[in-house]
Amino acid sequence: MIDVTLICVGKMKEKFYQEAAAEYVKRLGGYCKLSIVEIPEQRLPKNPSLGEIQGALEKEGDAIRGKIPPNSSVVVLAIEGKTRSSEELAQMISDWARSPAKHLVFVIGGSYGLHPSVKAGAWCSLSMSPMTFPHHLARVMLLEQIYRAFKIQEGADYHK
């Protein structure tokens, strides 16, 4: 069973996101050892300066890097990342499972994204869509897609 970690900036507050995420966490239990790590989002003033945003991203980046297990392959979610179909994600996870890396880590940034150093250290950069989604919804969507990838790999009817 593979180790998958989601590192997410920000805590889920809305019950409907929590319930949706919990459902996919439960479903994924039969396919992988899943860990979700929440990194606090840095507090910023209402209209932050570019410097304040950069500073917050740097602190979040340090916290993210501190939570990445050794011998990990990191996938960052970023608007400029590559969009992939569900089948391509399934193949990517399958290919990774045959690699020597011990952990597959997905990283979802906060409201202002991810520090460039986190993106630079990634094995892969993935984009859900050119549209913008709340990062809490992106977490639910990613969990669903990881679940879908495992279902595709086993040839189940879930993916039609």
pLDDT at 160 over 70: no
pLDDT, one tens digit per residue, over 108-134 is 999 899 999 999 999 999 999 888 888
Question: For the chain, what is the largest distance between any 2 Cα atoms, rounded to a whole number of angstroms?
Answer: 49
**CATH code of the domain made up of 2-44+52-154:** 3.40.1280.10
Q: Considering the chain, what percentage of its residues have pLDDT values greater than 90?
A: 79
Residue ranges per domain, the chain? 2-44+52-154
Phi, psi of 133 (to 5 degrees): -125, 155
**What residue has token string 């400029």?**
80
pLDDT, one tens digit per residue, over 10-25 is 999 899 999 999 999 9
Q: Which residues, 6+ apart, have CB-to-CB distance to 75 below 8 Å?
A: 104, 105, 106, 107, 122, 123, 124, 125, 126
pLDDT, position 122? 93
